[in-house]
A = this chain, B = another copy of it.
Amino acid sequence: MITEEDKFRDYLKKKGLKFTPERELILKEVFSLHKHFDVEALFGILRKKDRTISRATIYRTLPLLIESGLIREALRCRDRVYYELIFGHPHHDHLLCIGCGKVIEFRNERLEKLQKEVCKKYGFKPIEHRLGIKGYCKKCQKKMRESS
């Protein structure tokens, strides 16, 4: 069974790059988080485990993780980029609550299929897609009803 580390090592080797302790730490941490993360959050967590790791290294490593197909940019919110795992995590789309910031992940096969059909119609070869629906979650709708 191929692990994320195998995949990352393969990618690095192929590119003539090194598997350093810093890269290992970042990889491990990213894959032990089980939700979206941004650079600041990741930096905070990593600093607790390694007092010397720098933001620069994180900024330099994330593109490698993306290029090796392990993570991807999931969404942006107020100028912050949030990443999510791809490896071992099936593709999904997002519902974003404007009220409380909650993120609901969902997967809908028909939606996926329909997108492929649209691409076909335009002779377009899809590589990846992102669907984000902004609105109000159940709780926030309830809050709004109660306060009005």
Residues of B within 8 A of A138 (CB): 122-124
Find A134's partner among B127, B131, B141 (CB 8 Å cutoff): B127
Residues of B within 8 A of A114 (CB): 108, 110-111, 114
A127's nearest neighbour on chain B, judged by CB, is B135
Complex formed: what's the CA distance from A130 to B76 in Å? 12
A63 interface residue per 8 A CB criterion = no
A45 interface residue per 8 A CB criterion = no
Inter-subunit contact A129/B119 (CB<8 Å): no
Complex formed: what's the CA distance from A108 to B95 in Å? 19
From A114, A118, A121, A123, name the one whose CB has the most chain B CB atoms within 10 angstroms: A118
Inter-subunit contact A122/B110 (CB<8 Å): no
A101 interface residue per 8 A CB criterion = no
Residues of B within 8 A of A118 (CB): 95, 106, 108, 111, 133
Inter-subunit contact B110/A125 (CB<8 Å): no
11 pairs of residues in contact across A and B, judged by CB atoms under 8 Å: A104-B122, A104-B124, A119-B133, A119-B135, A122-B137, A124-B137, A124-B138, A126-B133, A126-B134, A126-B135, A130-B134
